[in-house]
Amino acid sequence: MIGVFDSGSGGLTILSELIATLPERDFLYFGDHARAPYGTRPAEEVYACTEEAVAFLLERGCRLVLIACNTAAAVALRRLQQGWLRDHAPAARVLGVHVPLVEAITGRRWGDVSQHHGGGRERRVAVFATPRTVASHAFRTEIGLRAPETTVVEIACPGLAEAIEAGGDETTLQPLVTEYVRTLANHPNAAAGFDFAALACTHYPFAAGAFRHALPSATALLMQPALVARALADYLRRHPAQDDPGNGHVRLLTSGDPDHLDGLLGRLAPDLRRFERISGA
């Protein structure tokens, strides 16, 4: 069984694509709605919440957990992999949703951090993310390790994930997105334009139309769901010991109240709305 974790419902954009790509796998999704959003929390709080969520999913039989929250992955993934996981669950694996996006931007595998390759094409990338993800500078750092010739501008989008989680429609989201893109346009490195705009929050695919409308047509939009699904399928092929074929069962758990998870869920398929509240929450 594969665990998928997000602070709220944004990770369902990832889960939906995972189900389509890996229909014979079993998935256990946990949304920490009671403590959402993570995007404005201090880094230590984000780490503590993420560690607790990963432990929760591993205790319920997951061999592999995908952190489908960019804020949690940016803040906690390396620390979990290099410390807690080694000490508490060495046979398990934890992956981060930001990794395939970094690989797509740089054209390099996550493990390739050599800066001596030379000949890389100069690229200009705008990364739209939550304030905490931007404060971590995880994307700028990880892209720079693999493709130092790439110019990365990170733009914080306060309030956007919350507006999407609440079910905001395009009328609500467009003014917010327009303001974030205006901030990008005023950045000192914006004069030459951008090759890519990366939507580095799993909620943001629901605002893709607003971003497309606000961004120049020459700027390609990068979103995570399909990238992550392909990357996970490839990972399972390369690491069969972590694979656990099932029967396509999907279970959704929340730390919040399932009866009040409206908003964004109204835009999802019925099978992705049936949340159960975890005991003790």
Q: Dump the DSSP string for 211-246.
A: HHHHS-TTSEEE-HHHHHHHHHHHHHHH-GGG--B-
Residue linked to tokens 């390099």: 108
Of 192, 223, 212, the closest CA to residue 105 belongs to 223
Note whether 69 and 45 are within 8 A (CB).
no
129 three-state secondary structure:
strand
From the CA atom positions of the chain, what is the Rg in Å? 18
Note whether 233 and 21 are within 8 A (CB).
yes
Note whether 221 and 210 are within 8 A (CB).
no
Angle between helices 70-79 and 138-146 (to 10 degrees): 60
- φ and ψ at residue 34, rounded to 5 degrees: -65, -25
Residues facing residue 221 across a β-bridge = 197
Query: What contacts 266, CB < 8 A, 6 or more positions away?
Result: 167, 273
169 three-state secondary structure:
coil
Catalytic residue set = 69, 201
**CA distances (Å), 218 to each of 32, 44, 105, 214, in order?**
37, 38, 16, 12
